[in-house]
């Protein structure tokens, strides 16, 4: 499995010289089988607009899983050039709700934006998912509800038959209680998604000091995914969805202070290769 980090920022895109190395584009992760073009994309933040860096000029044929419908996770859809081609086939999935296509249309249509998905070329479809396991693009995907403020949100577990990743881009476990260390509950859903995965990609928006006053803002302190990985047996952890105010220099300092093996801050533009050796 090959994982391309196209967008690692949370809440708001952050251009400028202070956000170059870790990236300023919002959530988007592309997944490919070895030797193949990416066919599965997790979230459609502004990072989706950079997908041509890995797809070239070829039309995208695959699926996009949206964790939820907040702006920073759908900004990139109308700017997805590889999806806006005659031969493209783009299947968009989002947490189940009444009229999922209509819900997406609300955030991507006039007067909010001049075009909607039906204006894009190619074959686009929008479908709702319910909790459970489904086969999409040859991947086995477990979709489960996770707590996040402001609408239904899913975390995903993706298995290609050799490796498994968990993706919880926006997660507020504190809403279920403070848990054993004051960072939020290590609840059954999070543990099920993250159990023994080769890679955990997880919301880590706040520092411990910020979390004291923002614990009800819908996100995590970076200590939570580190502890979740330890409890669930995840082999490697990417701290993701960086706060829009967090500069490269600040992330460097935070990274230098990490003591847990196999934990790092996600870097936009990087590629992670998972192979059979990840099982060992």
Tens digit of each residue's pLDDT (9 = 90 or more) over 131-166: 999 999 999 999 999 999 888 999 999 999 999 999
Q: Which of 226, 245, 246 is nearest to 236 (CA)?
A: 226
pLDDT for the residue 99: 87
Q: For the chain, how far is it from start to end, CA to CA, in angstroms?
A: 15
Average pLDDT over the chain reads 94
Contact 48, 28 (CB under 8 A): yes
Burial (CB < 10 A; 0-12, 13-18, 19+), residue 203, is: buried
Give 121's DSSP letter.
Answer: S
Q: Which of 132, 155, 3, 151 is nearest to 65 (CA)?
A: 155
Alpha-carbon distance of 36 to 44, in angstroms, equals: 20
pLDDT band of residue 124 (cuts 50, 70, 90) is very high
pLDDT at 278 over 80: no
pLDDT for the residue 131: 97
**Number of C-beta neighbours around residue 141 at 10 A:** 22
In the sheet with 154-159, reading across from the earlier edge strand, the strands are 132-136, 139-145, 154-159, 164-168, 199-203, 237-240, 263-265
pLDDT at 280 over 80: no
Alpha-carbon distance of 220 to 107, in angstroms, equals: 25
For 160-203, the pLDDT digits (tens) are 999 999 999 999 999 999 999 999 999 999 999 999 999 999 99
Which CATH architecture fits 2-275?
4-Layer Sandwich (3.60)
Retrieve residue 189's tokens. 């859903």
């Amino acid at each position: 499995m090959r994982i391309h980090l196209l967008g690692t920022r949370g809440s708001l895109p952050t251009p400028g010289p202070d956000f170059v190395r870790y990236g300023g584009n919002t959530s988007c992760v592309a997944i490919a089988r070895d030797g193949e073009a990416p066919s599965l994309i997790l979230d459609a933040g502004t990072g989706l607009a950079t997908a041509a860096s890995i797809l070239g000029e070829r039309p995208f044929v695959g699926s996009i899983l949206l964790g939820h419908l907040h702006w920073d996770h759908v900004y990139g859809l109308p700017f997805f050039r590889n999806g806006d081609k005659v031969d493209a086939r783009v299947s968009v999935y989002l947490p189940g709700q009444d009229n999922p296509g209509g819900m997406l249309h609300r955030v991507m249509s006039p007067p909010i934006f001049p075009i909607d998905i039906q204006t894009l070329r190619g074959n686009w479809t929008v479908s709702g998912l319910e909790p459970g396991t489904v086969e999409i693009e040859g991947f086995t995907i477990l979709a489960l509800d996770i707590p996040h403020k402001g609408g239904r949100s899913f975390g995903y577990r993706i298995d290609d038959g050799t490796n498994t990743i968990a993706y919880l881009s926006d997660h507020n476990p504190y809403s279920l209680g403070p848990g054993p260390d004051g960072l939020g509950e290590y609840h059954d859903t999070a543990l099920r998604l993250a159990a023994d995965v080769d890679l955990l990609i997880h919301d880590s928006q706040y520092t411990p000091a910020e979390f004291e006053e923002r614990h009800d803002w819908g996100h995590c302190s970076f200590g939570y995914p580190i502890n979740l990985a330890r409890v669930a047996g995840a082999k490697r952890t990417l701290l993701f969805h960086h706060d829009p105010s967090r500069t490269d220099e600040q992330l460097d300092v935070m990274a230098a202070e990490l003591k847990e093996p196999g934990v790092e801050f996600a870097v936009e533009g990087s590629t992670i290769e998972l192979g059979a050796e990840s099982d060992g």
